[in-house]
Amino acid sequence: MSDIKRLVVNSGNLFDSLTGTIKENQTIVSKGNQIVWVGEAGSFEKEETDQIIDASGKTVFPGMIECHLHLHMNGETNMERATLRTKKDMYHFYSLVNAQKQLVSGFTCVRDAGSFTGIMPSLRRILDYGVFAGPRLVNSDKGIWQWGNQEEVYPESMIAWAREHHQVVAGVDSVKHAIRDLKFRGATFIKTATTGGVLHGMESKVSFSLWTDEELIAIREEAHRNDMHIASHAHGKAGIDKATIAGFDTIEHGSFMDEESADLMIKNGTYLIPTQMAAMGLVSPELMKTMPPEVQKKTIEVDSAMKINHKMAFEKGVKIAIGTDAGTPGNYHGNSGTEAVIMVKDVGMTPTQALQAATIEGAKAIWMDEKIGSLEKGKLADLIISNKNPLEDITVLQNPKNFSQIIKDGKVMVEKGVITYFSPIEKPPI
């Protein structure tokens, strides 16, 4: 008989993310990192060594999934100053602590959408080994950028810094090489951009896409052939539509999408990751005063367009998963539950739909739905036991103290907002 003890979460009200319903008085049994049994409380066969958590009266739902963040960034309001004062090695530690903030806030899986080369693949392995408490990590490495559209107006010393963060590629062969190289370095998905960005320099346009159709198709073919999905940063319509038509899997931001873009995304099954928290962070007075006038104007336009267009997209039926761009200026780690609240208050989701967006829809968006996103036999044991029911009040997701336990890989990692998991040092994981 195996000496692996089972974890039993007993008699909870289970949120079935597949149907959007609550099933009362359900028990979940996990062994190792896997759910091995789900059913009516009392009808499972007890084992002497079972670790039993009483979840009666509590709501049990799948660990939430954050589809767009940057773990190495801390939300500093002065990015240039922070960059100049941060030695590259320090980003490893920032990434770990930010990953832990995400875990504590109920996100047991996060997708990192661009970092310095090497940091995320290493962190993913360390977290998979259980060396530290932290969420499951799906990671790009550095992003692949189109030539010239994502302008970096920096001194020469910082251009070198930027090159470690994203790589400019042009031409079909160059694109294919970049994707294979990223796979080799440990990326598990590809992050690219089909428009300029809000903060990427005054000349960085959000309104057009520089990639040729051949390059876009090459990105999709090569990434999918290597079992990696593709996320495209896209604010303007041209970049949103081109990425969707080329078969990319997720559109990040989607600020200036119109009804035609929404129809294309519905037809292609493309997910929208709204990241409204990013724009909200940027339009704060503290940040606005640090920006040149053109960037201020661009920021205000993006913020107001997102609010209108994401609501339109949802109403038409575009699939949406939760992502915040946490780490960008004024957008701090640990607040991703607020994006689900925004989906209810501003986009028009019901609390049930918002919790589905944060669980099963997130899993589908990032190709993880065979492993996570719902509480079923055979899936990984990532779950939250909450004292309050987020379907009655979605703002429950904003306060980690509501979660009595957060379990990842079958291990209780967080209790009442505090990390209680430490790696067993007598059993080195590697």
Phi, psi of 77 (to 5 degrees): -80, -15
Q: Which region holds residue 32: left if phi is over 0, alpha if psi is between -120 and 50, else beta?
A: left
Nearer to Zn ion, 232 or 353 (CB): 232
User: Smallest distance from the beta carbon of 414 to Zn ion, in angstroms?
Assistant: 25
**Residues 199, 152: Cα–Cα separation, whole Å:** 9
User: Smallest distance from the beta carbon of 386 to Zn ion, in angstroms?
Assistant: 28
**Paired tokens of 66:** 């954050």
Nearer to Zn ion, 35 or 113 (CB): 113
Residue range at the interface with Zn ion (CB under 5 A); choices 152-160, 325-333, 368-376, 415-423: 325-333
Question: 89 by DSSP, 3-state: which?
Answer: coil
Judging by beta carbons within 10 Å of its beta carbon (0-12, 13-18, 19+), is residue 289 exposed, middle or buried?
A: exposed
| Residue 273 binds to Zn ion (criterion: CB under 5 A) | no
User: Smallest distance from the beta carbon of 110 to Zn ion, in angstroms?
Assistant: 12
User: Smallest distance from the beta carbon of 183 to Zn ion, in angstroms?
Assistant: 21
**Residues 274, 186: Cα–Cα separation, whole Å:** 26
Nearest one of 68, 60, 135 to 391, comparing CA atoms: 60
User: Smallest distance from the beta carbon of 122 to Zn ion, in angstroms?
Assistant: 20
What is the size of the binding site for Zn ion (CB under 5 A)?
2
Nearer to Zn ion, 41 or 69 (CB): 69
CB 18 within 8 A of CB 355: no
| Residue 8 binds to Zn ion (criterion: CB under 5 A) | no
- Can you count the helices (H) and strands (E) in the chain? 14, 19
* Binders in 89-128 for Zn ion, by CB under 5 A: 113
User: Smallest distance from the beta carbon of 72 to Zn ion, in angstroms?
Assistant: 11
**What residue type is 368 in one-letter code?**
M
**Residues 304, 296: Cα–Cα separation, whole Å:** 13
* Binders in 33-72 for Zn ion, by CB under 5 A: none
State the CB neighbour count (10 A cutoff) for residue 31: 18
Nearer to Zn ion, 273 or 383 (CB): 273
Q: Please calculate the CA angle 422-112-59 and round it to the nearest 5 degrees.
A: 60
Nearer to Zn ion, 264 or 277 (CB): 277
Nearer to Zn ion, 7 or 120 (CB): 120
Strand partners, 369: none
Residue nearest to Zn ion (CB): 325
Nearer to Zn ion, 250 or 402 (CB): 250
User: Smallest distance from the beta carbon of 325 to Zn ion, in angstroms?
Assistant: 4
| Residue 381 binds to Zn ion (criterion: CB under 5 A) | no
Selected binder of Zn ion within 66, 215, 325, 382 (CB under 5 A) = 325
| Residue 223 binds to Zn ion (criterion: CB under 5 A) | no
**Residues 398, 40: Cα–Cα separation, whole Å:** 30
User: Smallest distance from the beta carbon of 320 to Zn ion, in angstroms?
Assistant: 17
State the residues that interact with Zn ion by CB under 5 A.
113, 325
